[in-house]
Amino acid sequence: MNGQAGKVRVAVVFGGRSAEHAISCVSAGSVMAALDPERYEVVPVGIAKDGRWVLADPGQQLAITDGALPEVAGGTAVSLVGDPEGRGLAVLDPGQAVGRALTEVDVVFPVLHGAYGEDGTIQGLLEMTGLPYVGSGVFASAASMDKEFTKKLLAAAGLPQGDHVVLRDADGAISADPDVLDDAARDRLGLPVFVKPARAGSSIGITRVTDWSQFPAAVAEAAAVDEKVIVEAAVPGREIECGVLAARGTGLPEASLPAEIRLRDGVDWYDFAAKYLDDAAEFDIPADLTPEQTAAVQAAARRAYLALDCRGLARVDFFLGTGEDGEDLLVINEVNTMPGFTPISMFARMWAATGVDFAELVDRLVSGALAPR
């Protein structure tokens, strides 16, 4: 172990270039506070919104205070050494091509959401360094970030999902005419449809289209976020989430008790404002489900985790509707490989309701990353 007095040295990486920068800071603050100081030495590494890496001040305020969102600002510039001999971080001195070695770390916890964090990019960098890290690897992260490939892999595993069409901006097709869906597809999908950037999060760039006249503007908005756009039939039903965590020792996925997001009357869908700003949703943790429904959600969550080759943790989001004969229709919406990670986030609260508290959650993830694979 490289830390003081035999402690495990954990680099917690947070902030980042995505729209979820502030949420990542809050998540990281919680993770760092939960790492047992008797066993772990924390090295806080912030990634500023412009992509600069800095050694953050351990005392930095990372909570939301008086409505002000935390942000990675200044600090000593550091860099992750890609050469596995480096095993860690180097300080970048101005004018020097290669910085002096700062510290060797044992394990990295990338508490990053969205692009450059949850999409396989930092995971690729960490693979190059040879450092173990918490969470899914390159492939699972990239596949789960991409709503098209998530659906393809879930379909291959026989897991249920909603009808959809993928639009690509090949040869500028979308930019030239965002009204790109043919009549057959319109008839098949019906209204409303959800128009989404294929790789985004926090509901950014998503429009719920209730009239085809709104469709071109919705496609243009999604295409401004990602060149690939996905058009989904609306799936009626309750919004249910389930946490998945690798078991100690075996690494096999275990599922938490599911939770339900109940939107208040008049709120049609879980958009950005409903997620972070308005008091638009209520959470039932655990969800009010029959034992059979709970078991079905948990089994599907574990299968989705395996289908996407996830590691460590995931949050699997569902719609639970009712079929023509009154039977349950369970549909997977998406898989998040680094869900919001504060003690009040759904993931942590679902595990708390299942008997795994926040410190145990963090400890399981870090020790799981260090376990030989």
- How many whole angstroms from its chain centre is CA 107? 20
Q: How many Cα atoms sit within 13 Å of 258 on the Cβ side?
A: 28
Tell whether 11 is in a known binding site: no
Closest residue to ligand ADP, Cβ-based?
270
Query: In terms of Cα–Cα distance, which of 174, 226, 172, 222 is closest to 195?
Result: 222
Tell whether 2 is in a known binding site: no
Tell whether 324 is in a known binding site: no
Q: Give me the least distance between CB of 216 and ligand ADP, in Å please.
A: 19
Q: Give me the least distance between CB of 224 and ligand ADP, in Å please.
A: 15
Nearer CB in complex with ligand ADP: 238/303: 238
Q: Active-site residue among 79, 148, 202, 367? A: 202
In the complex, the residues that contact ligand ADP under the rule CB under 6 A are 162, 194, 196, 200-203, 206, 232, 234-235, 239, 269-270, 317, 333-334
Nearer CB in complex with ligand ADP: 76/149: 149
Nearer CB in complex with ligand ADP: 92/195: 195
Q: Give me the least distance between CB of 133 and ligand ADP, in Å please.
A: 22
27 is catalytic: no
Q: In sequence order, what are the beta bridge partners of 243? A: 315
Q: In what order do the strands lie in the sheet with 101-104?
A: 101-104, 88-91, 76-80, 53-55, 40-47, 8-15, 107-110
Q: Give me the least distance between CB of 106 and ligand ADP, in Å please.
A: 32
Tell whether 29 is in a known binding site: no
Nearer CB in complex with ligand ADP: 41/317: 317
Nearer CB in complex with ligand ADP: 41/226: 226
202 is catalytic: yes
Whole-number Å distance between alpha carbons of 291 and 302: 17
Going through the chain in order, the beta strands assigned E by DSSP cover: 8-15, 40-47, 53-55, 76-80, 88-91, 101-104, 107-110, 164-168, 193-197, 207-209, 228-233, 238-246, 253-255, 259-263, 281-284, 313-322, 328-336
Tell whether 228 is in a known binding site: no
Q: Active-site residue among 18, 20, 41, 260? A: 20
The full DSSP string for 45-107 is EEE-TTS-EEE--TT---S-BTTBPP-----EEEEE--STTT-EEEE--TT-SSPPEEEE-SE
Q: Give me the least distance between CB of 161 and ligand ADP, in Å please.
A: 9
Q: How many helices (H) and strands (E) does the chain have?
A: 11, 17
Tell whether 359 is in a known binding site: no
Nearer CB in complex with ligand ADP: 87/208: 208
41 is catalytic: no
CB proximity list for 215: less than 8 A, separation 6 or greater: 178, 179, 181, 193, 195, 209
Two tokens, residue 57: 């001040």
The full DSSP string for 51-63 is S-EEE--TT---S
Nearer CB in complex with ligand ADP: 88/201: 201
Do 54 and 74 contact (CB within 8 A), yes or no? yes
Q: How many Cα atoms sit within 13 Å of 235 on the Cβ side?
A: 23
Tell whether 333 is in a known binding site: yes
Q: What angle separates helix 21-34 from helix 358-370, to the nearest 10 degrees?
A: 90
Tell whether 71 is in a known binding site: no
The residues that are catalytic are 20, 202, 345
Residues of each annotated binding site for ATP: 147, 194-196, 202-203, 232-239, 333-334
Residues of each annotated binding site: 147, 194-196, 202-203, 232-239, 317, 333-334, 336
Residues of each annotated binding site for Mg(2+): 317, 334, 336
